[in-house]
Amino acid sequence: MGLIVQKYGGTSVGAPDRIKQVAARIARFQREGHPLVVVVSAMSGETNRLIALTRDITTTPTPRELDVVVSTGEQVTIGLLCMALHTLGVKARSYTGAQVRILTDSAHTKARILSIDETPIRRDLDDGCVVVVAGFQGVDAAGNITTLGRGGSDTTGVALAAALQADECQIYTDVDGVYTTDPRIVPEARKLDRITFEEMLEMASLGSKVLQIRSVEFAGKYKVKLRVLSSFADTGEGTLITTEEDTTMEQPVISGIAFNRDEAKLTVLGVPDTPGTAYRILGPIAEANIDVDMIIQNVGQDGTTDVSCTVARGDHDRAMAILGQVRDAIGAREIRSDTSMAKVSVVGVGMRSHPGVASLMFRTLAEEGINIQMISTSEIKISVVIDEKYLELAVRVLHKAFGLDGSAA
């Protein structure tokens, strides 16, 4: 039988009882004859607790030491899960990222996986062992502990599945698949049986945290069969992330709605409207390693213009400090910012062949009196930035307007 990589997220291993249930599920798969590699997250809340602990010491820890601390949550879970498997008579061995040698670059807190040493894993599998690997962590060439960014255990799972050429990578979580939108916000959201990589990439990058975006990129690149399933329910096929668009059914125009609360908007007013201005504003922000998402430059009037952009809320203070210097250097009139912004996006490959998505989106928001502050589009998505206080309302009305709750669009 084929090798399966299973990843269990924080809530799935959130308490000793949950760990025992996960062990029982693993034992069942093993009895069916599957060689198994299991990746686990820290117990739910643990990574946040560890981050808070570092903040009690300093708000500016060195990234190296931050990784030393936040990577410990996963080490606890791998040991506990192996113990639970042992009590069921299942042979199992745990490995930290450094022990399996998940080699990453040195970009602490957001490292990228470069290679994985399969040797110890293959040896244990041949020995009939379940191999349990800590998610979210790796080691760089100099031996420093690194972490892969929030949600990074998904990427550990997919990277192991790619390295071991597993038959399937199963991501077990607290929902039974990928939904048309976050079911916590819209109870009418429906589970999708399949979603294309392209759409899943957009959904993940636009805020649907059910899969870390890098795990989707990895799976697409290395052709890993990727499935999202519930660790709380025993039935169901979950959602398959696939390269094929579903041509058997009538294509929905929109497959899903993603959102992100974590947005801040920055505006530089009264910028001289001359060549190079956008670069002089955004260049220093990029140099500070701050990701800029949307950018808008207004039509110039009287030789000046306004430039707005959005950044992650956590980067707001640093970005404002940089813009303060830029303002003086380029002679802009004023800088403004708003940290209570949110982004809502409709995503779907069906958009390519169906015009009118933007107008339905804008009309729906207008009918609720929701003001759109920024817009950006790509071939398969339309995103708008709105005031955060309207976020849930916007997601709900758009979900209905596009017929995602099962009613006709």
Residues binding Mg ion (CB under 5 A)? 9, 151
* 182 contact choice in ligand ASP, ligand ADP, Mg ion, none (CB below 5 to 8 Å, kind-dependent): ligand ADP
Residues 16-55 that bind ligand ASP (CB under 6 A): 41-42, 47
Q: Could you say which of ligand ASP, ligand ADP, Mg ion, none residue 255 binds, taking C-beta under 5 to 8 angstroms by partner kind?
A: none
Using rule CB under 6 A, residue 196 touches ligand ADP: no
Ranked by CB distance to ligand ADP, the top (closest) residue is 9
- Interacting positions 129-188 with ligand ASP (CB under 6 A): 135-136, 150-154
Q: Which does 217 bind (CB under 5 to 8 A by kind): ligand ASP, Mg ion, ligand ADP, none?
A: none
Out of ligand ASP, ligand ADP, Mg ion, none, what residue 14 binds, judged by CB under 5 to 8 A for its kind, is none
Binder of residue 174, out of Mg ion, ligand ASP, ligand ADP, none (CB less than 5 to 8 A by kind): ligand ADP
CA 146 to chain centre: 18
Beta bridge partners of 301: 304
Is the CB of 173 or the CB of 255 nearer to ligand ASP? 173
Binding-site string for ligand ASP from residue 52 to residue 91, where x marks contact by CB under 6 A and - marks none: ---------------------x------------------
In SS3 terms, the chain reads as CCCEEEEECCHHHCCHHHHHHHHHHHHHHHHCCCCEEEEECCCCCHHHHHHHHHHHHCCCCCHHHHHHHHCHHHHHHHHHHHHHHHHCCCCEEEECHHHHCEEECCCCCCCCEEEECCHHHHHHHHCCCEEEEECCEEECCCCCEEECCCCCHHHHHHHHHHHCCCCEEEEEECCCCCECCCCCCCCCCCECCEEEHHHHHHHHHCCCCCCCHHHHHHHHHCCCCEEEEECCCCCCCCEEEECCCCCCCCCCCCCEEEEEEEEEEEEEEEEECCCCHHHHHHHHHHHCCCCEEEEEECCCECCEEEEEEEEEHHHHHHHHHHHHHHHHHHCCCEEEEEEEEEEEEEECHHHHCCCCHHHHHHHHHHHCCCCCCEEEEECCEEEEEEEHHHHHHHHHHHHHHCCCCCCCC
Instruction: Determine, following the binding rule CB under 6 A, whether residue 11 of this chain makes contact with ligand ASP.
Output: no
Name the residue nearer to ligand ASP (CB basis): 152 or 348.
152
Number of residues that bind ligand ASP (CB under 6 A): 13
Q: Which residue is nearest to Mg ion (CB)?
A: 151
Cβ(198)–Cβ(352) below 8 Å: no
Candidates 74-82, 204-212, 276-284, 294-302; binding stretch for ligand ADP (CB under 6 A): 204-212
C-alpha–C-alpha distance, residues 279 and 283, integer Å: 5
- Contact between 179 and ligand ADP per CB under 6 A: yes
Name residues contacting ligand ADP, limited to 109-148 (CB under 6 A).
none
Say which entry of Mg ion, ligand ADP, ligand ASP, none residue 208 contacts (CB below 5 to 8 A, set by partner kind).
ligand ADP
- Nearer residue to ligand ADP within complex by CB, 23 or 271: 23
Please, which residue, 42 or 309, has the CB nearer to ligand ASP?
42
Positions touching ligand ADP (CB under 6 A) are 9-12, 41, 151, 173-175, 178-179, 181-182, 184, 208-210, 256
Positions touching ligand ASP (CB under 6 A) are 9-10, 41-42, 47, 73, 135-136, 150-154
